[in-house]
């Protein structure tokens, strides 16, 4: 597949020294499975690195910019800035979707699964920038594309931990502690998807999906809050 990654550099304002590294950031494991002779590596190692770099940069940013916030608030702000929804939103704004190297099957899926792929690819890009150009350049990229979203997140209250809030409301309104139960697991070990239900007593209130049980629980709690009008 011939993709001109220089177009991504133009759109993002980046200039990679190692173009192979840039390309690797866009290679999903499914593409390698279908193109075993491509000579490419998938992006999961870069994603692993980028995840840690993103968390460090955002933590440093919040520590400096929000001196009046306590540890709990900053943790919630950070979670809202580095979660899959926010990362996918940023990836979409950078037209990451136009450059993905995916299997034919993955290319057809444009739903929630694609959101996770976009989010993971953004982390891989961050990892690639860090390897290629170091901390200051990747910090500038994150400050330009991700940090500014904090104002919107705070004003809309999307930084609030849905699971904690749902538990607080359930105990206050119904004198019940919610329970979470995994109802479905799909996909191979490297690409699992979980469906989790949140229950009040024996009653299922809502279900959520995610790449981890924790993400699925948060999604279930968020939907539960909406359903209950809390």
| pLDDT-based confidence at residue 225 (cuts at 50, 70, 90) | very high
Whether 152 sits among the annotated catalytic residues: the reply is no
CA dist 106 and 112 (Å) reads: 12
Q: Which of 34, 98, 109, 123 is catalytic?
A: 123
At residue 158's C-alpha, the angle toward residues 68 and 130, to 5°, is 75
Q: Which of 4, 9, 10, 51 is catalytic?
A: 51
Higher pLDDT, 106 or 9: 9
CA dist 159 and 163 (Å) reads: 12
The crossing angle, in degrees rounded to 10, of helices 135-145 and 112-133 is 140
| pLDDT-based confidence at residue 112 (cuts at 50, 70, 90) | confident
Asked if residue 157 has pLDDT above 90, the reply is no
CA dist 222 and 202 (Å) reads: 19
The pTM is what?
0.74
Question: In the chain, what are the domains?
Answer: 10-156 (1.10.1520.10), 162-228 (3.30.160.20)
Whether 174 sits among the annotated catalytic residues: the reply is no
């Amino acid at each position: 597949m011939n993709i001109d990654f220089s177009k991504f550099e133009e759109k993002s304002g980046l200039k990679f020294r190692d173009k192979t590294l840039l390309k690797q950031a866009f290679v999903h494991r499914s593409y390698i499975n279908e193109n075993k002779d491509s000579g490419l590596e998938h992006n999961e190692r870069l994603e692993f690195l980028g995840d840690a770099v993103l968390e460090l940069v955002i933590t440093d940013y919040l520590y400096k910019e929000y001196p009046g916030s306590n540890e709990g608030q900053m943790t919630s702000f950070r979670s809202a800035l580095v979660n899959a929804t926010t990362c996918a939103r940023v990836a979409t704004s950078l037209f990451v979707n136009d450059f993905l190297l995916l299997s034919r099957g993955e290319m057809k899926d444009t739903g929630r699964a694609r959101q996770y792929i976009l989010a993971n690819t953004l982390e891989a890009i961050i990892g690639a920038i860090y390897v290629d150009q170091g901390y200051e350049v990747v910090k500038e990229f994150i400050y330009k594309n991700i940090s500014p979203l904090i104002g919107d997140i705070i004003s809309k209250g999307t930084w609030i931990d849905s699971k904690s809030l749902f538990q607080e409301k359930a105990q206050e309104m119904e004198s019940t502690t919610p329970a979470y139960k995994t109802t479905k697991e799909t996909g191979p070990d490297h690409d699992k998807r979980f469906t989790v239900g949140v229950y009040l007593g024996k009653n299922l209130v809502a279900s959520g999906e995610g790449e981890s049980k924790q993400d699925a629980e948060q999604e279930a709690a968020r939907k539960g809050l909406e359903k209950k009008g809390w």
